[in-house]
Amino acid sequence: MKNWLYIFVGVAIAMVIILWPKKEGDYPSGISTEYHAELDKRLAESTRADELRELLHSLPEAQQADMAYLILNMLDEDLKSMDLELLKENVEYATIAREKYEWAKNLPLEVYQQDVLPYHVVDEVRDSWRKELYEMFAPAVDTCKTMYDAVCAVNANIPKLTGVDYNTKREKTNQSPRESMRQGMASCTGLAILLVDAYRAVGIPARFAGTASWHDNRGNHSWTEVWLDGEWRVTEYYFPSQLDHLWFMPDASKAKADDRTYAIYATRFGKADDWFPMVWADGDVEGRSVEELPKTIGAENVTKRYIDLAYEQYTRHLEAGTHTFIKIAGYKERGKTEHSEDRVAMGVDIFRGTEQMGGGLTAGELRDMNDMFSVLVPKNTVYELRYYNANGELQTQKVELGEEEVVVEIYQK
């Protein structure tokens, strides 16, 4: 009888400990005491302080510090309204990947927390993606020995596994992974978000990068960076032939570090000295200055690194004699190519197989007749130009490039 009494008392005490309201300064053993005061201050700003304390106590010790990091650094709006079960799942599966993969185990804590652990990329809908993407990509990376091999495996498989391809008919710009997978399409921003999250799901540090506008004002572009061997490398949803060699590098070479409209930024979770210009936020507002955009997502100005990368790539190729230019002129209709008013600004992309090698606008009627859109590409290769005619129909044109540069004409009609 006494044994049953002891058991009953023990269970009762345990239930009291679990259910007793957690007070200020009361944190589980997995959270260092040096963070208690900072957590107290942060939770004092929230109407859900008791729920958040309970969440911290409910986690395994190995996950408590990571959850505390997210609470300390998450956006105020997320602190108010974030689904706590979603947040819990995010930390759980980030821990699973970190414990499973050697590249994740060996990450510096700051890199892991900054660029693997976060539950969002920019201002996309906060939905559940980590568990789904982990289960989707784990089989593709389980046999990889290095982080670089895993990066390649994710890129090689992402269109097939997610069913998502580039398409401007997508519902919105800043789609979450689930929104993009539901539609099977996304534009560059949605693709970049999806790729960042796919990397993070298998323990690869990744972040979102982009510019509010290219130098010729043809609009914004977004892409992805991965952290390898202590430095950030440039990649994109449709994997380039090698890291840092992206089709937009000619445009990146003309970015302006001191002009937010034309600068290049990479996102930073939590506290940051700068902010990312999300041109898609709150809709496409006519005449809005970039300084009027929401300043909620932290960022780092990385323009100089891109300018340096682009300069090295161009100079080296030209000096080596391995590359030459495809120059493209756009005209309103075939047979009328003599006068400036015959020309038209047309968007055109250049592909080598499935790999995009360049893209931009042809010169319009107000530009000098000698001014043509040019792309530096490897010699002795067959390329395909893709553009839309006046009826919105996709057109393709094959270009066989030899040793010398070529000039290609495309037409709206």
Q: Is residue 42 within 8 Å of residue 25, measured between CB atoms?
A: no
The pLDDT, as a whole number, for residue 293 is 95
Q: Is residue 166 within 8 Å of residue 191, measured between CB atoms?
A: yes
Q: What is the pLDDT averaged over residues 178-182?
A: 97
Where along the chain do the CATH 2.60.40.10 domains lie? 322-411
**Would residue 188 be called left, alpha or beta, if left means φ above 0 and alpha means ψ between -120 and 50 degrees?**
alpha
Q: What is the pLDDT averaged over residues 223-239?
A: 94
Residue 362: pLDDT above 60? Answer: yes
The pLDDT, as a whole number, for residue 318 is 78
Where along the chain do the CATH 3.10.620 domains lie? 125-311
The pLDDT, as a whole number, for residue 20 is 45
For the segment 27-68, what is each residue's pLDDT rounded down to a tens digit?
999 999 989 999 999 999 899 999 999 999 999 999 999 999
Residue 197: pLDDT above 60? Answer: yes
Q: What is the pLDDT averaged over residues 248-272?
A: 93
Please state, in angstroms and rounded to a whole number, the distance separating the CA atoms of residues 126 and 120: 7
Please state, in angstroms and rounded to a whole number, the distance separating the CA atoms of residues 397 and 270: 46
Q: What are residue 225's DSSP bridge partners?
A: 207, 234
Label residues 18-39 b or e (16+ Cβ within 10 Å = b): eeeebeeeebbebbeeebeeeb
Q: How is residue 341 annotated by DSSP?
A: G
At 4, is the pLDDT very low, low, confident or very high (cuts 50, 70, 90)?
low
Comparing 233-242, 322-331, 343-352, the range with the smallest average pLDDT is 233-242
The residues, ordered by sequence, that sit 6+ positions from 274 with a Cβ below 8 Å of its Cβ are 265, 298, 299, 300, 301
Domain 322-411 -> CATH class:
mainly beta
CATH of domain 125-311: 3.10.620
Residue 18: pLDDT above 60? Answer: no
Residue 3: pLDDT above 70? Answer: no
Residue 314: pLDDT above 90? Answer: no
Answer with the residue of higher pLDDT: 226 or 319: 226
The pLDDT, as a whole number, for residue 165 is 87
The pLDDT, as a whole number, for residue 192 is 97
The pLDDT, as a whole number, for residue 24 is 52
Comparing 154-168, 222-236, 312-326, the range with the smallest average pLDDT is 312-326
